Chains A and B, each alone.
Chain A
Amino acid sequence: MKKILAVFDGLKFSDSTLQYAVKMGIQHNAMITGVFLEDMTYSSRGIYQLYSEKEYAVDNVKHLVEEDRHERDAAVDRFENACKDASIAYMVHRDKQLAVRDLLKESRYADLLLLDASESMNRYTEESPTHFVREILEGTRCPVLLLPRHFTDIRRVFWLHDGSPVSIYAFKMFNYLLPVLNVLPMEIITAHFPGREDETVNSVLFKELVSLHTPHAGFISLIGQPDVEIPLFLRKQDKESLLILGAYQRNVFSMLFKPSMADVLVREHQWPLFIAHNK
């Protein structure tokens, strides 16, 4: 039985995460651990709302803290009820420490981590990928399924392959972890500038691996700049697709000059992204 972590912010509960988690639980016979990060430094209100010069200020703060606690309890209840309804194995971890560090530790002993791509673990709205999501992607010890804002059933898989070892690693991990999705139609997408095709994609070794793991896979080769052409192509496809991506960690230089493919795709909030790296 696989162990899947589903990460929740009790104050901004993600329905999408809950729906994907339950589905994964049924489909893969997995145990879902709901991780509720309840960082003490994070409340639903700003410091000025808590601040008051009136005499009963302390009571007021207590009241607001109480409200947050109720909301967090309600979120845990929703998760528990959904798991019970679907009769899947589940656990709840409520974590009061610093959110990111604890989650990364938890990921060591998990097979997959589900996370809403817009999760920020603070009360501000940030551009995706948020700092929180970035930190998770860089430090995680298990593959991550980054989820869109709205749940859609997965009926198709696209592997965005750039020829790198980490991209192949992600493909292998996808096959190991989610074998049920492995029977879905799958396309391997590569993109290159005209005349600069990556030969590894046509190599016998590569084809051999694909033919064993996903004999039904098709190949799509796009011409042009990958981080432009691939999103363009994907926007024309059905929404009900999952994307497999390698690398999130890249060297500092390339990070400065252009956002990674993952960043570009995360911003679209359209597809679940399966991201794995082995460092």
Chain B
Amino acid sequence: MNSWCQPFNGLTPLSENLIVMKKILYVTDALDLHLDNLDFAGYICELAQSKLLAVFLENDESEMRTDSMIRTAAVNAGLNVTEEPLSLKQHTCDTNIQRFKTACESKGIDCVVHRDRGNPLSELILESRYADLLLLNVSTTFSPNNEGTPTDFVKDVMSNAECPVMLMPASFNGIGEIVFTYDGKPSSIHAIKQFTYLFPQLNELKTVVVSVNPEEVSPEERYKFREWMHAHYNYLDFLSSEGNVKMGLVELLFDRDKSIVVMGAYGRSMISNFLSPSHANPVIKVISQAVFIAHN
């Protein structure tokens, strides 16, 4: 055996279980805190062995929301509405941060809070450059108008963030499987890789790859893709459907439970479609799962 085949420089070989601490951001509107997401966020942090960094977007420079909306937010935070709107907003933000810290403490989540006072989108994009993952609520908005989900703010974050974004599920009771969407395009492969690099520990979980019209990708490329997947995941299943991409995906994703759905850019436009405002649409159920989006 040659000398360079020896174990070396005192480093332990085998990286499989070596976890690098990740920087995971929990993003919230400082006026509209959803503590029901916290179980999911806590799970992700534990998985990545990381702290939870909460980003409270206070939007002081460009607040468009009306006084009555701020009063509603104050009431939701459990405050008495007797103050001036400006100080009331400040008070509500402070109270929400306190509520968040208390909730984290009671759930045993190690948390740190960032208060970003400027324009929410530009503050968040800058934060994302120095982060590994953003956890975001699909209904986050800073607009005074009523919006469907995902809101324009969420769409903007999804297309401009410099790290992957995870849309948090409304309710959480564990993760049972990972669902990758694959269409052969660079962005879908990029998303799959980024997810795998962030959560290498999930390789023992049931893993499903869904594709619509898989024949559109050359057999040689599909082979290489499978080769890569098999190197990273131990329990793989490949599902496909034919025809219209949108309907096909809905069909493939509809009945899944306790899953994280991973999507590339095919993701971004698809998500907007999935979340079309019509609540009667059964498709909405898809979004009750966690969705991981990365683009390049």
Contacts and interface: CB of A to CB of B under 8 A. Distances in A.
Given A176-B20, A180-B18, A26 B129 contact: no
B195 to A, nearest CB: 11
B193 interface: yes
Interface in A99-143: 105-106, 108-111, 141-142
B9 A155 contact: yes
Interface string B228-240: 1001100000000
A29 B53 CA distance: 32
A23 B8 contact: yes
Contacts of A279: 296
Nearest to B18: A179
A209 interface: yes
Contacts, number: 118
A180 B12 contact: yes
A205 B198 CA distance: 19
Contacts of B12: 180
Nearest to B229: A109
Q: Give the contact-size bracket for chain B.
A: 35 or more
Interface string A79-93: 000100110000000
Interface of A is mostly: helix
Interface residues of A, number: 50
B11 A184 contact: yes
Interface stretch (A68-76, A167-175, A226-234): A167-175
Contact of B15 (A173, A180, A212): A180
Given A168-B129, A180-B11, A205-B127, A111 B23 contact: no
A61 interface: no
Interface string A21-36: 0110011110100000
Interface in A166-211: 168-169, 172-173, 175-184, 203, 205-206, 208-209
A223 interface: no
Given A27-B11, A108-B221, 10 more contacts: A1-B231, A23-B5, A85-B2, A109-B224, A141-B186, A165-B162, A173-B197, A181-B11, A212-B23, A212-B51
Interface of B: 1-2, 4-5, 7-9, 11-16, 18-23, 50-51, 53, 126-127, 129-132, 162-163, 186, 189-190, 193, 197-198, 221, 224-225, 227-228, 231-232, 296
Interface of A: 1-3, 19, 22-23, 26-29, 31, 82, 85-86, 105-106, 108-111, 141-142, 151, 153-155, 165, 168-169, 172-173, 175-184, 203, 205-206, 208-209, 212-213, 278-279
Q: Which 5 A-B pairs have the closest CB atoms?
A: A176-B197, A205-B130, A109-B224, A209-B130, A109-B228
